[in-house]
Amino acid sequence: MRMKSSISIIAAIAFLVAPLGQAVELSEEDSGKIARVVGFLLSQTHYKRTPLDDDISAAFLRKYMESLDYSRMVFLQPDYEEFEAKYGTLLDNLTKRGDVSPAYEIHKRYFTRLKTAHSWLEEIIWSDFDFTIDESFTPNRTKADWPATETEARGLWRKRIKYEVLGTRLGKRRGVEAMNAKANNGEVVKKTDGTPVKPYDIKAEKEKILRRYERFLRVRTEMDSGDVLQVYLTALSNGYDPHSDYFSPLEAENFEINNIKLSLTGIGARLQWDDGYTKLIELVPGGPAIRSKKLKPGDRIIAVAQGEEGNPVDVVEMELDKVVDKIRGEKGTLVRLTIIPVDAADDSETREVRLIRDKIKLTDSLAKGQVIDYPEEDGSRPRLGVINLPQFYQDCARDVAMILDRFQREKVTGIVLDLRRNGGGLLPEAVKLAGLFIEQGPMVQVIDSRRRKQVLQDNDAKIGYDGPMIVLVGKLSASASEIVAAALQDYGRALTVGSLSTHGKGTVQTVMPLNNWVRLPDSGKLKLTVSKFYRVVGSTTQKQGVTPDIILPTPYDYMEIGEATLPNCLEADHTQKLDFRNVNRVAKHVEPLAKLSSARIKEDQDFAYILEDINTLKDRLKDKSVSLSEAKRLAEKDEEKAKRETRKKERKARGDAEETVYDLTIKMIKTNTRLGEEVEDEEKPIRLEEEDEEEEIEEEEDRPTLDPHLRETLHILQDYINLLDPKKQIAAKENRAEAEIR
């Protein structure tokens, strides 16, 4: 989120971007003018109000070298030590004088080292790799030291290339085995899309890898002065916090499209270039990507193919705007993405995802409801309601109020507000939405860089819903969603349930055009952090997020996700507590509800799988290296495959879900459509042709109607309702007494 007109926050709804214009070459003198202004604005207007000093200089230098060499395989450790001795405490002074010569000097050294590394590649890649040797490689070297010598660097490049070649061998294994198994029958083995499985060609795969690195070298070669300045000044901005960035004119245009234009044709995903890969960092509600249920934030795209017949084009190390250009296209056309799933054991575990491009509209992100007929042990079926809010858009509080009104008509006895995938949006809407459940009062404190405080509060005494309520959150709940969860928790109005903590982004950014300070045709823009959110109790959501009352285990808690994992993020602190009326409906029930939930989780097979996945993830995080032994990797893949098959069989053997789930859309409410009926003339998203729908059903049939976390949250909600019902409490005591007698 970013600030506009004092404290009004606009939503950062990101979509695939269009190809941009040409970069603008800047002279070193002009670059210096821009750098001087960026340094001044950061020191004077950033939330921290920290002067541009030696400490910032040291962080600035390291971040710049890391940004150029994210894999720590190009620079040598002596390069860093040399530049640290020369510029470690001088970059601040040079920036104030408008001297950016270190940017180009360090970049020149980087390019020299890169050409040296590239000269080794052809010899390395055409060597015969021995995949029986028990050695390993760590693909993610972002926290490793730079190699001490060229010999050590060459050894790293050898392992990296070997790792990539082995990955292609393992990735083709299924097709090769199928061909070998059916070759005697003269059969032609085909993929699910009908295309023949090609035999593994190691020469072709090595050529593909070599072309990838040639493309990477060409991209680095084509970096102009504006590109270098972009990396350099972003490194300076990141010295203050990870959300502050400098945008060159080209990147500024990209940012505006990403964050303001709300209707572009594509797959509905926000992409980011990360360590040579194009990574999915956000899925737009209602878009093809999220509707497919086959993509998650953190998945990496390694190839893009057009239509049924197009060959996959390798996009590793490709510039982000070019990858985006390949993914975007005409509405109704097919694009095939080859991805490495975020939860893959290693980079050889890939799969193809087929998507039909569609127009992404803001209306696709509207709040949605579900009415669940919940089965009780006594045979009754009370009704529970779920509100899924993907983001805080304009008038979302009004839409949620409509759902709440319909819930009352449907005799819903308790609700869950699901914010697990809500990354934020309009702050005033978040305040209004929280106000639907509280009579009135302050909701959040916002403190700016001059330590001026503004309190945003709900002044409407009207309550939209006053019954039992749970706010369900996760690691992807951020910004405005954290404010709502925190307010309802602090007021004691709602029970919070979810992961160990929410995302932890409690800061506000603004974007400042630099043309007001630099008399150049286009000098770019500076995005910097200007304010911080604080809860009504005085603590902040920054870095620490919101800790739920009841924790449900999830692998997301152990992945490198969340504000606290970002380098140089702002610390959590406190301000004064506000005067507000705590309704205190939750505290006394947390302990018994947590005990009941814990007992259920211990007996729940889906949570047993989740806990098993968490332990596997923990083991991987302890040792991030990957074996380069083909036998070991094949054994690991076979073990993973067997585990998936076992789970699939177990889920299929279960009976049908006992609960009945009815979807409820805003249009259904407006047209007074009954539950279970379809809305007439409602535009439906474009889907794949019939055979692809069948394929989707086959993949989805082993999944429960409700995901394990939502189902357990509904169990907790019903327990909560029972605790509030005197008759239920008496019955529960009698049951416990009978159990003790028996």
Structure tokens of 354?
């087929």
Q: Residues 33, 159, 432, 505: which is the catalytic one?
A: 505
> 32 CB contacts (<8 Å, ≥6 apart)?
97, 98, 99, 100
Q: Name the DSSP class of 686.
A: P
Is 505 catalytic? The answer is: yes
DSSP string covering 337-358:
EEEE-TT-SSTT--EEEEEE-E
Report the C-alpha gap between 428 and 443 in whole angstroms: 10
Report the C-alpha gap between 145 and 578 in whole angstroms: 47
Structure tokens of 308?
């049924």
Among 37, 44, 51, CA closest to 450 = 44
DSSP string covering 577-625:
PP-------SHHHHHHHHHHHHHHHHH-HHHHHHHHHHHHHHHHHH---
Contact 553, 281 (CB under 8 A): no
Contact 475, 297 (CB under 8 A): no
Q: Residues 57, 244, 479, 481: which is the catalytic one?
A: 479
Residue with tokens 């299929």, as numbered in its chain: 652
Contact 469, 414 (CB under 8 A): yes
Mode of pairing for the β-strands spanning 358-359 and 265-266:
antiparallel
Report the C-alpha gap between 381 and 486 in whole angstroms: 31
Report the C-alpha gap between 252 and 422 in whole angstroms: 25
Q: Which amino acid is at 357?
A: R
Residue with tokens 């459940």, as numbered in its chain: 437
Structure tokens of 136?
């390993």
Is 190 catalytic? The answer is: no
Residue with tokens 């993020």, as numbered in its chain: 569
Report the C-alpha gap between 60 and 351 in whole angstroms: 39
Q: Which amino acid is at 414?
A: G
Contact 526, 246 (CB under 8 A): yes
Is 479 catalytic? The answer is: yes
Contact 520, 30 (CB under 8 A): yes
Q: Helices 150-171 and 101-125, interaxial angle, to 10°?
A: 60
Q: Name the DSSP class of 146.
A: P
Structure tokens of 550?
């009841």
Structure tokens of 439?
């009579």
Among 115, 181, 719, 689, CA closest to 468 = 719
Q: Residues 79, 364, 458, 490: which is the catalytic one?
A: 490
Q: Which amino acid is at 527?
A: K
Instruction: Just list the catalytic residues.
Output: 479, 490, 505
